[in-house]
Amino acid sequence: MGVLDWFRRRRPEGPVGVAVQVRAHNRPSSDERRGLAVPGPLWWALLLATAFYVAAHYSVAMGVWPVHGTAPRATLTLYRDVGALLAWFLVLGVLRWMGYRGSWAIVVLPIIIFFMTRPAQFQTFTDPVYQASGPTRAQANQLKATRSRLSTIERAYSPERQQAVFGGPPPPLPNPFAKAVEGAAEGETAFLRGISHFSVFLSPLALLLGYFLARRTERLRWFREKRLYPFVPLMIAFFGLAALPGARASGKVGGTTPWELFLPVFIGVWAAVLADDAYNLARPGQILAPRRLLSMFLYGALPLVPFLILHELGLSIVLAGSMAAMLLVGTRRGWWAALMLVVWAGLVYAAFHVDDRSRTRLELAYDPYRNPAQMTEQQAEKWAAKLHQMKLFDANVLEGNLLGAGAGRGHGETAPNSADDGYITLIAAQWGLAGGMALVLMYTLFLITMLMAAVRERGAFERTLVTGLAMLIGIPFWLATLGGIRVIPLTGVAAAFAAHGGAKLLASALAVGVIAAISHRRTEEELLEQALAPPQEAAEPRGIRIR
């Protein structure tokens, strides 16, 4: 025996064979095969999205802030986004610890979408001009352009060349934010910034809350049987908010839309109604019963009334469309879909011909660039003011070209509401057609995954509930995406996880948690059925995959 033999691994006794190293994900006992771990492709996609998230934030902070300046508390916004990054990974850890076995794509894909779009939101809300409104916006943009030129000269020129350019010491850099918030109450802007911070922090907790509430069968059964308990207080609160001064004119309360938090509850109540009476609702002769008509009006039509009071066309379409899809899935009758389509078309036609706000959006979508020579001077000025937002949306899409200008570049934040219903134009300005298409494909995959979870369900209540919650997320996405590029008129709704929307983000995270919980329960029931099934006469050969 040589000296080196002392350091070699001793061979086991027995016949000589071939040593095969099997990777962990190929072993039958691995967590991935048992559904407890995130699948490999999702992990790689999540890691790539995380790297993009970090790099884009760094690029904005190091490359854009010194040139354009920042809004106050921009550093806190950066800390907020770092905290959101950690919170979303904590959600995955908590679900793994709780033994989650459902479809991981339902949870991971919205996180990836959040990571893809949040850097653009970060740059927008730290921009010193984005919060400006009215005539101060143009003045603030002019100050930002002046600051950009001066800061570029200071960074690129030597002191001697600066002396020659300025004819003396460099002038002080202007503060665009001071002009942007001129005339606005500080309490109001602080409140809106606070809402922005809290929604991003609370959305991971909202997802876990939805998962916790729907994870146990008895909790959903209680909600189904006692649906009046949450429904009545929320309707009273909804009508109260709709009656507040200024809510009808602006469609918001304190700059927010808190009634979006009510939508998942309305969807759950409607799912309970359909599950209890789906058989009779599928029979035309039974629909006209007084008790059934009253139930449909109370749970299906009454939640839409406050939206009509608020002149909120977008959210009324979202809720009505979600309920119509649930009715189709619950009854499995195509004539319901045709009837709902006719009713919906009538309501939309009435809205675009009665409501001034909706009529203006229709004109801006399909006939925006009118000839000023055919208008009076006053009409031309009014139309130019209305066209300002849509014109900037179009400019963002056109200037973004194929690949965009990069993180924080492209001036997409100059358009009003580019972080909300114009989010797709903000993405197009920074990441071009390629970035916009990647986001649309990722979101479409997310919606398909949720609908697949609905298809797997056997119970009428769970199936219609998952369908309604999926539509509650999917319809706003397509309304906002198609509205931003003028395929359809703008509706004022925001896409969950992709746009800013504080209340929308919380409500959608709660909905995703409920869908994930139902998917988890379905998987556990299938595993239990497999364990209790009688053994097969001839077992199928099983083996391992060797790479």
Q: Which two tokens stand for residue 343?
A: 């009713």
The tokens 């071939």 sit on which residue? 18
pLDDT band at 319 (very low <50, low <70, confident <90, very high): very high
Q: Is the pLDDT at 192 greater than 70, yes or no?
A: no
497 Ramachandran zone, left/alpha/beta (phi>0; psi -120 to 50): left
Q: With 0-12 CB in 10 A as exposed, 13-18 as middle and 19+ as buried, what is 332?
A: exposed
Most confident of 134-138, 170-174, 201-205, 287-291: 201-205
What's the CA gap between 257 and 261, in Å, rounded?
A: 8
pLDDT (0 to 100) of residue 248: 75
Alpha carbons 38 and 227: distance in angstroms, whole number: 35
* Rounded-to-5 percentages of helix, strand, coil across the chain: 70, 0, 30
Burial 125-160, CB ≥16 within 10 A → b, else e? bbbbbbbbeeebbebbbebbeebbebbeeeeeeeee
pLDDT of residue 177: 54
Quick: pLDDT tens for 467-486: 999 999 999 999 999 999 99
Most confident of 357-366, 445-454, 527-536: 445-454
Average pLDDT, the chain: 83
pTM, to two decimals: 0.86
Do residues 484 and 461 lie in contact, with contact meaning Cβ atoms separated by under 8 Å?
A: no
Mean per-residue pLDDT, 227-245: 92
Q: Is 380's pLDDT higher than 70?
A: yes
Residue 134 pLDDT > 70: no
Cα–Cα distance, 505 to 420 (Å, whole number) = 11
- Which of 119-123, 146-150, 187-191, 312-316 is modeled with the greatest confidence? 119-123
At 436, the pLDDT band (50, 70, 90 cuts) reads very high
| pLDDT tens sequence across 392-425 | 888 889 888 989 888 888 778 778 788 888 899 9
Cα within 13 Å of Cα(322), Cβ side: 32
- pLDDT band for 361, please (50, 70, 90 cuts): confident
- Provide the pLDDT confidence category of residue 206 given band limits of 50, 70 and 90: very high
> Tens digit of pLDDT for each residue in 443-452?
999 999 999 9
